Amino acid sequence: MTSGLLLLAAMLAALTPNARKGDPCAAESWRADPAQYEGKPVKTAVLGVEEPGLVTSDAPAAAVRILTGNEKEEAGGAIIVLLPLEKFQAFVANFSSRQLGANRSGFGALSKAKVVAGTYGTVKGEGVLLYELDPKTAKELGKPSEILATQLKTVNPATEPTRPGWTRQEFNLAKLSALGAPETTREWERLQALLLAKAGKDKSQRRKASELIAGAKTGEGFKIEDETAKVEWTLVWR
């Protein structure tokens, strides 16, 4: 899923129109004029979240690179968000999905990018967005880009194949039917059919879609084996 998320982020950046120079919601504006923004509150629309990797309990802080933008969803450049370890999972889960609007059309609920607020700061020469992290604490950290690089290098045992010739992939139910996401309704129905076929007549092994989604939200990590593709799917919600 890592390469898929990075590719999606790159596609979003390439296809999204750019914000005007000096837009206060653009990370590029913050970096271009640090005297105006350093240590000041800022906010931006999160147009995309790149693969954040894994955070270990001994890490000094967590880092997530996002694509910033304004209310018109014009791109304002990428920036690393530094945040406390305990906020990492909730941040990624929240800002990886879009906010649904009240109005609906024949194509479903309208949506828009969620807005994140924080403080702009420079840490070891790199401009970052500090999210629920004290600026004084942030100054004592290492380079944000190196913190993120360490996360991306961390091996996740859950992604390692358990059967020769097989791979493990995640199916993020939080992104089901989201624009550009590989988690389509058709693929979700196919995975459920695989699960039903494996259960056969054993009713105790059958799971409703609502049960699978609820389990993903609580981190159950339910597995579905795809014998044809030799892929073990893990249901997640983030």
Confidence bin at 104 (pLDDT 50/70/90) = very low
Tell me the average pLDDT across 186-212: 88
Confidence bin at 110 (pLDDT 50/70/90) = low
pLDDT at 145: 95
Confidence bin at 28 (pLDDT 50/70/90) = very high
> DSSP string spanning 142-170?
--HHHHHHHHHHS--GGGS-SSTT-EEEE
Percent of the chain with pLDDT over 70: 85
Q: In whole numbers, what is the pLDDT of the chain averaged over residues?
A: 84
Percent of the chain with pLDDT over 90: 46
Tell me the average pLDDT across 59-63: 93
Helix segments in the chain, DSSP class H: 2-15, 27-32, 34-37, 88-95, 135-139, 144-153, 185-199, 209-217
> What sign results for the dihedral spanned by CA atoms 23, 16, 125, 141?
positive
Tell me the average pLDDT across 200-210: 84
Tell me the average pLDDT across 216-231: 84
Tell me the average pLDDT across 162-170: 79
Residue 2 pLDDT exceeds 50: no
Task: Report the alpha-carbon distance of residue 173 to residue 151 in Å, rounded.
Answer: 23
Supply the pTM of this predicted model. 0.61
pLDDT at 166: 83
pLDDT at 76: 93
Residue 183 pLDDT exceeds 90: no
Confidence bin at 19 (pLDDT 50/70/90) = confident
Residue 16 pLDDT exceeds 70: no
Q: Are 46 and 75 in contact (CB under 8 A)?
A: no
